[in-house]
């Protein structure tokens, strides 16, 4: 479990957010301390200025609360809802200095998470009705993976493995260094903890045959056109029809214009690295007034 996936792990989330605040504040917020008198109270609204799917408001709230535990907060938009500008996402009130000092960290996370949720929703909508799921990948900025994964879920996507422990995923370099697909799968079965899923990335029909013969439970078809994916997927599903449950995934530079073609090829899921590695942040701002 990760800090955002396990509600009982608030201390881990707070530790991350405190690190982010320390990075941004440095020794002191010299601008706020110079211009805003102590004891000043402020109230304001967090406003979406671009169309987006909302994600990250609980995180933003916690950032503000770490510097002002008495902050008053009213969330106006639930996670996963699509909004059009100008949309008030939340209202807050509290110590002006604390709000200003924590503003950038709170908004950075909120903008990124809402951007990821928005892009995820576009992909989810593109494959609607096919039964295909949209997966994220480990292509995340170090330190931000828990937030990115929550945003993918808020956008309607599904999380792939969180870290290298959760699954054996045999990719091209593993295959070459192990001496082929069969040897890699056999070695994984012999040494990985019992019950660990084994997925094999394939790039040829020979790879597919070896993976199926070796008993791989998951097939990842990488960087192939939809026509090839459909053919190889049919082969894998024939093995499933023979009594072996096999999960088929497609990946490789997935784009909105083509992802439905891959979904219609029959795969169970499409993994999309761009959801997190090339996110375009939502436009969100904090508008304050004294009060």
Please give the positions annotated as active site: 104, 139, 171, 201, 222
- C-alpha distances in Å from residue 175, one per residue of 2, 43, 222, 249, 271: 30, 58, 14, 18, 20
Phi, psi of 75 (to 5 degrees): -85, 130
- CA separation for the pair 154, 148 (Å, rounded): 10
Closest CA to 272 of 109, 112, 153, 119: 119
Q: Yes or no: say if 167 and 196 are a contact pair by the CB < 8 Å rule.
A: yes
Q: Are 245 and 239 in contact (CB under 8 A)?
A: no
Phi-psi region of 210 (alpha: psi -120 to 50; beta: other; left: phi over 0): alpha
What three-state secondary structure class fits 107? helix
* 56, burial (CB in 10 Å: exposed 0-12, middle 13-18, buried 19+): buried
Residues contacting residue 44 through CB under 8 Å, at least 6 positions apart:
91, 92, 93, 99, 286, 287, 288, 289
Which tokens sit at 142? 């170090």
């Amino acid at each position: 479990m990760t800090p955002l996936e396990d509600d009982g792990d608030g201390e881990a989330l707070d530790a991350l957010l405190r690190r982010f605040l320390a990075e941004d504040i440095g020794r002191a917020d010299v601008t706020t301390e110079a211009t805003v008198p102590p004891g000043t109270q402020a109230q304001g609204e967090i406003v979406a200025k671009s169309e987006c799917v909302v994600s990250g408001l609980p995180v933003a709230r916690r950032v503000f609360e770490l510097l002002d535990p008495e902050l008053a907060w009213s969330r106006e938009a639930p996670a996963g809802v699509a909004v059009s500008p100008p949309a008030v996402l939340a209202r807050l009130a509290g110590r002006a200095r604390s709000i200003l000092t924590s503003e950038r960290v709170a908004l950075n996370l909120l903008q990124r998470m809402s951007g990821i949720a928005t892009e995820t929703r576009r992909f989810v909508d593109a494959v609607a009705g096919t039964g295909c799921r949209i997966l994220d990948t480990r292509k995340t900025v170090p330190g931000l993976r828990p937030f990115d994964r929550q945003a993918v879920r808020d956008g309607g996507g599904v999380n792939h493995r969180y870290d290298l422990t959760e699954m054996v995923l045999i990719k091209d370099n593993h295959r070459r260094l192990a001496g082929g697909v069969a040897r890699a799968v056999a070695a994984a079965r012999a040494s990985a903890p019992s019950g660990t899923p084994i997925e094999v990335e394939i790039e040829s029909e020979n790879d597919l045959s070896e993976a199926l013969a070796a008993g791989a439970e998951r097939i990842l078809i990488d960087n192939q056109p939809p026509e090839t994916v459909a053919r190889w997927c049919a082969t894998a599903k024939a093995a499933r029809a023979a009594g072996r449950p096999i999960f088929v995934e497609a990946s490789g530079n997935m784009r909105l214009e083509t992802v439905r073609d891959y979904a219609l090829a029959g795969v169970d899921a499409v993994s999309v690295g761009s959801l997190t590695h090339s996110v375009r942040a939502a436009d969100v701002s904090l508008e304050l007034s004294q009060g």
